[in-house]
């Protein structure tokens, strides 16, 4: 049985080897969650990948929403209809959702409502590493932080109990290392929720955020948080790990707990550890006892000084004169995820033992630099190539390329170097409009299909209304590729694989008032080049939709259909002009002992390099498939 089915059917007491995100998917079933929504974002995406396959069989409503704000509104509706609901997103997604998020907290929850933020310290796949623990204070919501997959599953149950006990949404925060850590997880049972139906009961005082209502809702919220603070002192998820060390007490939470324990073990250190599972509001009575019973307190946490600030405030309020060390006095960094070396270095300075960050075992400085590249056969490469050629042919100078969030952000690297700004989902068009107003330069901006639906549309309306002169290239690869090929509104299937309405980007763009719109196949370089050249001559907003499925989808499809092919270079015709290597840069094309060759295992068979616009000597040709 495959793992996804085991997540659905595993019995209480069974043990599965699960990713943190897979454990969360199982935790949702064990918590009886009936509604789950998301906009895909790493490091939270795997939850959606599991739910899209099991939700129907589990009797759960699941959707990939158009963006995080809509996702949170959907899940809120589930909760106020009496069904346990869950919404999950990456950390920056909570910025998009925050307008509704802040108000849902005032309204409260009826059935349990948990909002998961998957944070990304070190920015493995994000534009920033904001610490979303701060949102729990900003919004006045309880926050729970697991450290490993078992806790990720089990703490969810606690989150739902708290949400229902206090009628409040709960923020559930993971980080990349918790979401993407794999370990053995012991399962609990799944309740039978098959007969449950939602029923919305009108409650104007709670659900209509008119100022007159919100005035008292804020007071109600503050009162709830005071009660939750008292309750947090009794919570089992706040754990004291005693080592009989009255001199040193360390406070930590989440992934930082794992690196701390590694560091203590590696350095043979003895310290009591207070691992906090609910990090807002803090269990102040228990925490005070911990502070009071240790001579020196150390706070180990990634990113902001979220815990340390509160620990210092608690000590001061209670007149405790303690040595408290952390990042506010410079022992630990505010940036990037921790490992045991980072923690050991900080501890060595505080506790006075020798520690040096070990040198890497292999000197890697002599290795050639390998920049991240678009996949072989990626349609975005063909589009970037055509745009670059069109700009050159039009002899345009000082062109500005505002770009956006998606695989195509790789267009910022050589040889294309077409990403002059990149801020946030959908920001390319807004920035392009601004630059069109503040400069006389030509603007060519890029946005992906999923990002277009997510938050690009309002900015196009703004560009049209304000008569911007710019060219927008919509890179429509028929999927949300960067996060793992999730469907978006531009494809005819929904989040659970059922047929659905397929939105037309071209129709939407026209309906917004853009008159100069054309859809092209980027594999057809000539047509793409002509379309972009024409768009660049237009004195208004012009949109070119480069529509061609993601190379990975195409590759899978062609192998399924047995139509997969590959290309090779005719060495007799190749002049070694290097255009295919230096200006097109498909990773399947490489140099071997002075000859240009195509690696058949990497070649995706797109055939774009064989076009005369890439190889003018027609040296690249299709390999005739060998008959079976």
- The answer to whether residue 597 forms part of the interface with ligand SF4 (CB under 6 A) is no
Q: Which two tokens stand for residue 520?
A: 């092209």
Tokens at 95, concatenated:
């910025």
Q: Give the integer Cα–Cα distance in Å for 380 and 552.
A: 12
Name the nearest CA neighbour of 300 among 266, 261, 269. Answer: 261
What distances in angstroms separate CA 599 from CA 372, 476, 606, one per listed residue? 18, 27, 13
Distance spanning both ends of the chain, measured CA to CA: 32
Give the residue carrying structure tokens 């590694």. Answer: 262
Where are the alpha helices (H) located in 167-245, listed in sequence order?
176-179, 204-207, 211-232
* 96 touching ligand SF4, by CB under 6 A: no
- In 3D space, the residue among 55, 34, 52 whose CA is nearest the CA of residue 110 turns out to be 34
Window 29-68: contact mask with ligand SF4 (x via CB under 6 A): ----------------------------------------
> Residue 180 or 579: which CB sits closer to ligand SF4?
579
Tell me the HSE value of 408 on the side-chain side, using a 13 A CA sphere.
35
Contact 79, 29 (CB under 8 A): no
Which C-beta is closer to ligand SF4: that of 111 or that of 586? Answer: 586
Regarding 606 and contact with ligand SF4 (CB under 6 A), the answer is yes
| In the complex, minimum distance from the CB of residue 419 to ligand SF4, in angstroms, rounded to a whole number | 21
Single out the residue of 92, 260, 314, 609 in contact with ligand SF4 (rule: CB under 6 A): 609
Instruction: Give 515 or 622: the residue with its C-beta nearer to ligand SF4.
Output: 622
Least Cβ distance, residue 407 to ligand SF4 (angstroms): 15
Segment contacting ligand SF4 (CB under 6 A): 7-15, 321-329, 453-461, 609-617? 609-617
Judged by CB under 6 A, does residue 406 bind ligand SF4?
Answer: no
Among the residue ranges 275-283, 392-400, 471-479, 606-614, the one whose residues contact ligand SF4 (CB under 6 A):
606-614
Choice from 89, 187, 520, 586 touching ligand SF4 (CB under 6 A): 586
Which CB atom, from 400 or from 603, has the smaller least distance to ligand SF4? 603
Q: Inter-axis angle of helices 457-465 and 427-438, to 10 degrees?
A: 20
Q: How far is CA 146 from CA 171, 195, 233, in A?
A: 12, 31, 17
Q: Which of 510, 579, 597, 621 binds ligand SF4 (CB under 6 A)?
A: 579
State in angstroms the smallest separation of the CB of 392 from ligand SF4. 17
Q: Which of 182, 296, 437, 576 binds ligand SF4 (CB under 6 A)?
A: 576
Closest distance of CB 517 from ligand SF4, Å? 27
Given candidates 580, 585, 611, 613, which one binds ligand SF4 under the rule CB under 6 A? 580
Any contact of residue 577 with ligand SF4 (CB under 6 A)? yes
C-alpha Rg value of the chain to the nearest Å: 27
The secondary structure of 42-89 as a DSSP string is TTSHHHHHHHHHHHHHHT-EEEE-SSHHHHHHHHHHHHHTTS-EEEEE
Binding residue (CB under 6 A) for ligand SF4 from 578, 590, 591, 623: 578
Residue that is written with structure tokens 């070694």 in the block: 576
Distance between CA atoms of residues 584 and 578, nearest Å = 9
- Interface residues toward ligand SF4, by CB under 6 A: 376-377, 567, 569, 574-580, 586, 588-589, 596, 598, 603-609, 615, 617, 619-620
């Amino acid at each position: 049985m495959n793992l996804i089915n085991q997540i659905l059917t595993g019995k209480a007491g069974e043990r599965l080897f699960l990713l943190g995100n897979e454990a969360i998917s199982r935790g949702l079933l064990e918590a009886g969650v009936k509604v789950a929504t998301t906009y895909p974002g790493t490091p939270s995406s795997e939850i959606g990948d599991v739910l899209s396959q099991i939700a129907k069989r589990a009797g759960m409503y699941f959707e990939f929403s158009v963006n995080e704000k809509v996702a949170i509104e959907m899940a809120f509706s589930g909760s106020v209809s009496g069904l346990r609901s869950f919404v999950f997103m990456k950390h920056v997604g909570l910025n998009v959702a925050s307008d509704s998020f802040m108000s849902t907290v005032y309204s409260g929850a009826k059935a349990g409502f948990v909002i998961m933020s998957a944070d990304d310290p070190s920015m493995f796949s994000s534009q920033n590493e904001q610490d979303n623990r701060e949102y729990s204070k900003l919004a006045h919501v309880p926050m729970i932080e697991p450290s490993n997959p078992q806790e990720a599953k089990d703490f969810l149950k606690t989150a739902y109990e708290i949400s229902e006990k206090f009628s409040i949404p709960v923020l559930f925060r993971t980080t990349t290392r918790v979401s993407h850590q794999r370990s053995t997880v012991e399962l609990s049972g799944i309740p039978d929720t098959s007969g449950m139906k939602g029923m919305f009961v009108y409650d104007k005082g709670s659900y209509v955020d008119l100022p007159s209502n919100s005035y008292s809702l804020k007071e109600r919220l503050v009162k709830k948080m005071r009660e939750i603070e008292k309750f947090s002192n009794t919570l089992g998820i706040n754990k004291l790990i005693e080592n009989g060390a009255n001199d040193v007490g360390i406070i930590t939470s989440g992934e930082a707990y794992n690196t701390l324990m590694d560091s203590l073990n590696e350095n043979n250190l003895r310290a009591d550890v207070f691992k906090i599972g609910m990090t807002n509001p803090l269990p102040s009575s228990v925490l005070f006892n911990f502070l009071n019973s240790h001579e020196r307190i150390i706070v180990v946490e990634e990113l902001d000084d979220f815990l340390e600030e509160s620990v210092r405030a608690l000590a001061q309020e209670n007149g405790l004169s303690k040595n408290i060390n952390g990042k506010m006095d410079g022992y630990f960094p505010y940036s990037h995820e921790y490992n045991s070396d980072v923690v050991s270095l900080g501890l060595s300075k505080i506790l006075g033992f020798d520690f040096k960050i070990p040198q890497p075992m292999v000197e890697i400085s002599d290795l050639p630099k390998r920049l991240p590249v678009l996949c072989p056969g990626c349609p975005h490469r063909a589009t970037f190539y055509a745009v670059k050629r069109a700009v050159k042919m039009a002899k345009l100078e000082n062109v500005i390329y505002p770009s956006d969030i998606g695989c195509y952000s790789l267009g910022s690297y050589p040889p294309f170097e077409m990403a002059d700004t990149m801020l946030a989902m959908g920001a390319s068009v807004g920035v392009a409009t601004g630059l069109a107003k503040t400069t006389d330069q030509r603007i060519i901006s890029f946005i992906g299909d999923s990002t277009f639906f997510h938050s690009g549309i309002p900015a196009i309306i703004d560009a049209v209304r304000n008569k911007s002169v710019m060219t927008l290239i919509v890179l429509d690869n028929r999927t949300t590729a960067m996060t793992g090929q999730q469907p978006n509104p531009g494809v005819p299937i929904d989040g659970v694989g059922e047929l659905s309405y397929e939105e037309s980007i071209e129709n939407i763009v026209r309906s917004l008032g853009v008159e100069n719109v054309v859809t092209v196949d980027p594999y057809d370089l000539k047509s793409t080049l002509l379309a972009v050249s024409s768009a660049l001559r237009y004195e208004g907003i012009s949109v070119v939709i480069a529509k061609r499925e993601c190379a990975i989808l195409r590759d899978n499809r062609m192998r399924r259909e047995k139509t997969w092919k590959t290309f090779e270079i005719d060495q007799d015709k190749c002049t070694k002009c290097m255009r295919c290597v230096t200006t097109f840069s498909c990773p399947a094309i490489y140099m071997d002992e002075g000859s240009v060759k195509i690696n058949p295992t990497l070649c995706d068979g797109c055939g774009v390099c064989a076009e005369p616009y890439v190889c003018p000597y027609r040296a690249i040709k299709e390999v005739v498939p060998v008959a079976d």
